[in-house]
Amino acid sequence: MTEIVTAGVLVIGDEILSGRTKDQNIGFIAEYLTNIGIDLREVRVVADDEAVIIEALDALRARYHYVFTTGGIGPTHDDVTADAVAKAFGVGIDHHPEVVARFRERFTEAELNEARLRMTRIPDGAELIQSATILAPGFKIGNVIVLAGVPSIMQAMMDIVSPKLKSGARMLSETIRANAREGDIGGPLRALAEAHPEAIIGSYPFLDEDRKPNTNLVVRSRDPEQLRVAVAAVKDMLTKLHTPH
Amino acid sequence: MTEIVTAGVLVIGDEILSGRTKDQNIGFIAEYLTNIGIDLREVRVVADDEAVIIEALDALRARYHYVFTTGGIGPTHDDVTADAVAKAFGVGIDHHPEVVARFRERFTEAELNEARLRMTRIPDGAELIQSATILAPGFKIGNVIVLAGVPSIMQAMMDIVSPKLKSGARMLSETIRANAREGDIGGPLRALAEAHPEAIIGSYPFLDEDRKPNTNLVVRSRDPEQLRVAVAAVKDMLTKLHTPH
């Protein structure tokens, strides 16, 4: 049996909670983690408030193998993520010499003000997540991975950090279009799900091209053979359903 | 002083955590609540798992005036929200006569199978959220409002339930385009935020039309006069910044 590796995501930002900014990171990270064999189990969105961030972070990092945070690592007063993470881990936080050196190459002395230097503050013992195209680095401390809030930068950081993460067997999935209303297949589908506990079977209604109610059935398993068996059972169920009798 | 009314959102669904479905409800509800004077403080996304839903629901409903859930009220075995809510409140759950009567008008006897009747199961004492165009109703029990996961239906339900909610003074906001890099205004902005604790000032970097780094400053307050004063201070700060010296 391969170990199951789990994760939580903590999205940090008043602008998401006010609705001003529509989050694009949850969906990206969810799909990314599924693809590399990490199970996303929970997401939380909280405000730019140090105490609130610490509480959510402590809850998630105790519960899952990894926690990914997004947002709050910029140069302004409302960017409090790095401080919150340092406090959660009970470590100090200071200007990181390597990041400061990179900033000195990139900025003039006049530009290198206190606000910009704020982005070089990294909790003690954290590992940097950076590249030539990333200004303010992300970092990894313990099982917490701190990413930018801007989607393109967050995505670049995921590519840098992901090879360093342990991952489990990838969750495989297959989607079967039922060509039936969810209410018509709910009964046989329940029986089928109970008969195949080794697979996870989800049912997702949608309106098709003709605006008619239809259903996608998604079968998931870490084991290719178990997936195949459950998918065959679903298809068999649908064939019987669609055969006039 | 007007009371501040707070809310949490609980998004329920394996498909969001796997990344298969990209959530559209968080952003909609966030904006909606801001507009009607309710402060969204926290969002959680959890799996279709009764125990997990109950735990998150109990945490959120104890903490905020209202909790809005989305997802998990359809006809299939993976729709467990109504049962989880009933258990969280320690009440029974049964086929609701009014909903069953509506289903009898809409479906033939053959169509009215156990799966469809599952959608008529409502926790005891809950108030229905329904209309002629909504098949499976949402419901409100205590401070918990249970909504559909399909965005169009969820949105219709919000319109039905929102007039029944108490709301506080609306959070007002004004966005000022800084025409400056975030790192250049971080210092004066921090001083300004500290001098105007009655307003909340957020800083959001973006790339402008010429792909140049720019910043939106968002000033928020429930008091129009305090908002005006803080906005004027931000504009004054920017004018000084942009004046050659």
What is the band of B169 on the pLDDT scale with cuts at 50, 70, 90? confident
Q: What is the token pair recorded at A227?
A: 């997936």
What is the pLDDT, as a whole number, of residue B64?
Answer: 98
ipTM higher than the 0.90 cut: yes
Residue bearing tokens 């307003």:
B199
Q: Which residue of A has its CA nearest to B191?
A: A77
CB-based contact B205 A118, cutoff 8 Å: no
What is the band of A2 on the pLDDT scale with cuts at 50, 70, 90? low
Residues from chain B contacting residue A202 (CB–CB below 8 Å): 14-15, 48, 78
Q: Across all residues in chain B, what is the average pLDDT?
A: 95
What is the pLDDT, as a whole number, of residue B245?
Answer: 63
| A206 Ramachandran zone, left/alpha/beta (phi>0; psi -120 to 50) | beta
Tell me, yes or no, if A31 comes closer than 8 A to chain B by beta carbon. Answer: yes
The domain over range B172-242 is classified in CATH as 3.30.1370.10: yes
The domain over range B6-164 is classified in CATH as 3.40.50.150: no
What is the pLDDT, as a whole number, of residue A9?
Answer: 98
* B:65-124 residues touching chain A, CB 8 A cutoff: 74-78, 107, 111, 113-116, 118-119
Structural contact between residues A8 and A144, judged by C-beta atoms closer than 8 angstroms: no
Residues from chain B contacting residue A238 (CB–CB below 8 Å): none
Please name the residues in contact with B34: beta carbons below 8 A apart, sequence gap of 6 or more.
Answer: A18, A19, B40, B170, B171
Tell me the count of A-B CB pairs closer than 8 A.
196
Closest-CA residue to B201 (of B214, B188, B183, B211): B188
Around A244, how many Cα atoms within 13 Å sit in the side-chain half-sphere?
Answer: 0
Closest-CA residue to B10 (of B75, B81, B88, B86): B81
What is the pLDDT, as a whole number, of residue B63?
Answer: 98
Percent of residues, chain B, with pLDDT higher than 90: 90
What is the pLDDT, as a whole number, of residue B191?
Answer: 95
Give first-to-last CA distance, chain B, whole Å.
Answer: 43
Tell me, yes or no, if A15 comes closer than 8 A to chain B by beta carbon. Answer: yes
Domain(s) labelled CATH 3.40.980.10 in chain A stretch across 6-164
What is the per-residue pLDDT across A119-139, written as a single tens digit (0 to 9) for each? 999 999 999 999 988 989 999
Domain(s) labelled CATH 3.30.1370.10 in chain A stretch across 172-242
Does B1 have pLDDT greater than 80?
no
Identity of the amino acid at B6: T
Q: CA-CA-CA-CA torsion for A158, A91, A112, B241, nearest 10 degrees?
A: 90
Closest-CA residue to A68 (of A5, A113, A21): A5
Quote the minimal CA–CA distance from B21 to chain A in Å. Answer: 8
pLDDT mean over B131-156: 95
pLDDT mean over B116-141: 95
Tell me, yes or no, if A233 comes closer than 8 A to chain B by beta carbon. Answer: no
What is the band of A226 on the pLDDT scale with cuts at 50, 70, 90? very high
What is the band of B2 on the pLDDT scale with cuts at 50, 70, 90? low
pLDDT mean over B53-57: 98
